[in-house]
Amino acid sequence: MQLIDGKSLANKIQTDIATKVSKLKDEKNITPGLAVLLIGDDPASQAYVKMKAKACKEVGFYSIVHEMPTTITQDEIISTIEMMNANPRIDGILVQLPLPSHIDTDKIIEIIEPKKDVDGFHPYNVGRLVAGLDSFVACTPLGVMKMFEEYNIDLKGKDVCVVGASNIVGKPMASLLLNANATVTITHIHTKDLAFHTKKADIVIVGTGVPKLIKKDMIKEGAIVVDIGIIKLPDGTITGDVDFPAVSPLCSYITPVPGGVGPMTIAMLLSNTLKSAQKREI
């Protein structure tokens, strides 16, 4: 069993981005800029935004965090996004999800200028991804693809089971895998027999937020397991969607939690923002 070390790969990517940022500043006088909207007081969202802002600082980006109370109206959020769409110093706009229940998330995402949609959530970018065209791709699934590339894991013809069908993780993950010529099964909360599908797969990618959903008897010997879940249990310990101690001995490769996919998500956000800045029209 080999661990897929997302933390060290993310560090390597971050160092490379910092070098490219210096070059962009020297050669074109461009500093990549990211605007993050944090709405409400969800502690997990606050922690993620803090990590994103820290990473931006480390690579030399200009970054701003707009913090808004839960009571904010949809129109006020829309005005802020429109301001960021028009701001030439901002290359990327990210609205941290989930949003308070009175806000229409789909509507908010559609207001973001697709060229600044570094989260890859806008239907324009989702459509381009499905069509196999260049687009901004959601950071977590993009990070998983980078891990496969780094560890020379060939996807062509592999049976891959994606567990979880969210817009943020499962659906874009499945599109990327299909574009890489894998045979993809997407399972979700209504799937009749989850183990039937996971047990057949060469690669299982899990992003559900259900702690330790994937047990030993659901994985075939030699499989590759990617755990996208990160959950804080009531006792304070961090776990993923996979029962790691039981499942890992069976695997050829497995991602740990923490230190697996998590750091890659942030590295891909930086990478998408840099990509946007490199295309800035000045």
> What is the DSSP secondary-structure string of 83-105?
HHHH-TT--EEEE-SSPPTTS-H
For the window 168-207, what string marks contact with ligand GUN as x by the rule CB under 6 A?
x---------------------------------------
Residues 6+ apart with CB under 8 A from 245: none
User: Which segments of 73-157 does DSSP mark as H helices, in order?
Assistant: 74-86, 105-111, 123-130, 139-150
Which SS3 state, helix, strand or coil, does residue 73 take?
coil
24 binds ligand GUN (CB under 6 A): no
Task: Mark whether 52 is an active-site residue.
Answer: yes
CB 9 within 8 A of CB 150: yes
Using the rule CB under 6 A, which residue among 63, 140, 255, 276 binds ligand GUN? 140
Q: Which of 34, 72, 94, 251 binds ligand GUN (CB under 6 A)?
A: 94
Cα separation, 100 vs 139, whole angstroms: 22
Q: Provide the CB-side half-sphere exposure for 63 (13 A, CA).
A: 23
Stretch that binds ligand GUN, among 6-14, 78-86, 93-101, 206-214 (CB under 6 A): 93-101
Query: In terms of CB distance, is 184 or 261 closer to ligand GUN?
Result: 261
96 is catalytic: yes
Is 95 a binding residue for ligand GUN by CB under 6 A? The answer is yes
- Closer to ligand GUN at the Cβ: 216 or 232? 232
Should residue 119 be labelled a site residue for ligand GUN when binding is judged by CB under 6 A? yes
Q: In whole angstroms, how close is the CB of 121 to ligand GUN at the nearest point?
A: 7
By Cβ distance, which residue is nearest to ligand GUN? 97
Query: Both tokens of residue 146?
Result: 């980078």
Max Cα-Cα span within the chain: 56
- Which residue out of 96, 115, 171, 243 is catalytically annotated? 96
Of residues 216-275, those binding ligand GUN (CB under 6 A): 265
Catalytic: 278? Answer: no
Sheet holding 33-39, edge to edge: 62-68, 33-39, 92-95
**Which residues have a catalytic role annotated?**
52, 96, 119
Instruction: Name the residues that contact ligand GUN, by CB under 6 A.
Output: 94-97, 119, 139-140, 168, 265
